[in-house]
Amino acid sequence: MKSESLMMKNQTKVIFHIDLNAFYASCQLIEDPYLKGKAFIVGGSAVTKRGVVLTASYEARKYGIRSGMNVKDAFDLYPHVLVAPTRFDLYKKHSKIFFDYIKTFTNKMMKASIDEAYLDMTHHKDPVKVAKIIQKTLNDYYHLPNSIGIAPTLFLAKMASDMKKPLGITILRKRDIVDKLFPLPLKDLYGLGRKTYPKLIDSGIKTIGDFTKKEHQSSILSHMSEEHYQSFLTHILGNSTSIIDDDYQVPKSISQETTLNYDIDQEDLIIEMIQPLIEDALKRLEKHHLYAKTIGFKLKTSTFKLQTRSKTLMTATNDLIVIKDAITELFTLHYNHEPIRLIGITLSNFVEDHTPFNLFTYHLFQQGT
């Protein structure tokens, strides 16, 4: 296959979606090589058998163990499974290594979560060759196995990266949609809730191709809104966005979010997962020499119920502790303990010229009290 055929025709974009395979497990293997080749899980306790599996090694997955499962159920499937402690400091360290490396290939990069990113690679003459270099370097040198999807839109690139795991490179053009995407089982449709797809399957909608057929439209609309349905069709047919925001454009707001592999309702764990999102947002804030006055969070359940809350601070800031405390307080006040699937934070209401709020400038802010 000639990689030139991937290049622009009428300004068609070349988008990469890079997904680190079993990321938490890979980080544990880097830290503890003893785990190599063994069935192990990350998360929970081996002593109490309580907690939730964050991820499972590929050896553990052979026994049916998967992320989101109760640790007790994992032991029921395989009593000899090993349990590695959760290490968010470790995951953050290797996530930074990952992003620092892939940024060397393009300045148009968007983080999707701690272990995945979208890259606009349209300017590269041989994107397949570049994908092979990225994959090999991440795997062999940084010990981070990964899969790469190459497509003209962000959604199709995401779908492509999921098609071959681990260590796959998949090309998905618009002309490939019917042959490659339509035959996939409906559960593989990115963004479709775990509670929704079983109902659609019961209605005879078995594949992604079935989802696009007009004769199934009325059945589908009994389980989701017209707007949601049309959005899925736009994505599936390759007509959704191919734009990755230029990293150097001054933003009106900055947001970071991550989609989880399973539902979480543990408040302390959610707060812990919010922290790296805040730190990533602050890096972008500092790059543009901005200060944020409004902070907020976003939560989405597996049924796509969205909760957003925001708060305007007394003065704009780029102080990590101030913003962390404000978002944590806001979240603790409003979180209703529903299981969630997506976590996000937002900074907005920016100012560029700013007098810092501290003991030496305290008098300047007295007039508003």
Return the H-helix or E-strand segment holding 357.
none
Helices (H) and strands (E) in the chain, counts: 12, 12
Contacts of 365 (CB under 8 A, 6+ apart): 314, 315, 357
**Contact between residue 343 and residue 274 where contact means Cβ atoms under 8 Å apart:** yes
Query: Would you call 116 a catalytic residue per the annotation?
Result: yes
List 4, 31, 116, 267, catalytic entry: 116
**Contact between residue 39 and residue 59 where contact means Cβ atoms under 8 Å apart:** yes
How many residues are given for the chain? 369
Contacts of 109 (CB under 8 A, 6+ apart): 99, 102, 103, 117, 118, 119, 120, 244, 247
The C-alpha atoms of residue 337 and residue 268 are separated, in whole angstroms, by: 11
Active-site residues, by number, are: 116
